[in-house]
Amino acid sequence: MNKLDLNLLKVLAVLLEELNVTVAAERLNVTQSAVSKHLSRLRDMFADPLFERSAQGLKATPRAIELAPQLRQVIQQLEQLTRPTAFDPAQSQRRFHIHMPDMAYSLTFPYFMPDLLVQAPNVSLKTNTWNEHSMQALLNCEIDMGIACREWDSRSPIHIKDIPGELNHVELLRENSLCLLREDHPALQENWDIDTFLKYRHIQVTIGGMNKWLLDDVLNIKKLDRDIAVHMPDFHSAMSLCEQSDLILCAPGRHATKLAASFKLRILDIPVAFDPGAYVLMWHKHFEHDLGHKWLRELIIDNVVE
């Protein structure tokens, strides 16, 4: 490779993110044909196919995967050099990438999106469910920001104080957990205490890339544990099962209260003492003085924080 065309790096970066020529073309505001031509030039530049076609779309080659972190670093440095001195949301066509747990959508998006749509009609958001790779994506500046569950209880392995120093953060909402049982559950005829709570089997919902809750950490310290009958991926399905069985479901209070109205369920406090958690907005310090990024995070904070 004798000559590097910097104009093509953005094309490669978008293709690596989307793994789809059509979607990449839409993001770049060019035709699919133009993206294909750019990809042909990129293959010549790097002497590698870069992508192979698969049933799911494009699959990055080992060389393309190797280039990805270096490419992000170059683009970030270029963005710093060309960062505008003003940001006009009404004229911006910027696209922001956010990771967040499923149950956080109903607690955040309805509150800030109406203002976003009015102030910035051409700005768009790409969201993904928070997972085990999201924190590293934040640290690599691969995404603009994340909303994650963090704990205030000192016994938690995901305490707020343990957020990496490279990230800035703001607490959006405090969250207490609640317990859900069907309306005629036999436990309702017993004293509601830790013994009754552990006597019955439970549903466990995996949220935000976490297989275990603070509740389980606290129980383990006491040398106790719940009998998990089934692991499920979402609370709506879990509540449906809870309504039709003697299984007990523990869930974040705000989300559970919203959903439980659609089911025949009773809501009780969890008979285990622990501090509430929080939904936390996080972003890399690299974006701290990015005016567009600052506009979006302030819009979220101003509309969501109680």
Q: Average pLDDT over the chain, rounded to whole?
A: 89
> Which residue is associated with the tokens 């990055």?
60
Q: What is the pLDDT of residues 240-279, one digit of tens each?
A: 999 999 999 999 888 888 888 889 999 999 999 988 899 9
pLDDT band at 2 (very low <50, low <70, confident <90, very high): very low
For residue 274, count CB atoms less than 10 angstroms from its CB and return exposed for 0-12, middle for 13-18, buried for 19 or more. Answer: buried
Whole-number percent of the chain with pLDDT over 90: 49
Domain ranges of the chain: 6-81, 95-168+282-304, 177-275
Q: Span 6-81: which CATH code?
A: 1.10.10.10
Angle at 217 between CA 206 and CA 193, to 5 degrees: 95
The CATH-assigned architecture of domain 95-168+282-304 is: 3-Layer(aba) Sandwich (3.40)
Does residue 1 register a pLDDT over 60?
A: no
Four-residue CA torsion sign, 149, 151, 155, 157: positive
Domain 177-275 is classified in which CATH homologous superfamily?
Periplasmic binding protein-like II (3.40.190.10)
Q: Which two tokens stand for residue 296?
A: 């979006």
Q: What is the pLDDT of residues 108-140, one digit of tens each?
A: 999 999 999 999 999 999 999 998 889 988 998
What is the predicted pLDDT for the residue at 27?
82
Q: Give the least confident one: 50-64, 78-92, 127-141.
A: 78-92
Does residue 4 register a pLDDT over 70?
A: no
User: Quick check: do 95-168+282-304 and 177-275 share a fold?
Assistant: yes
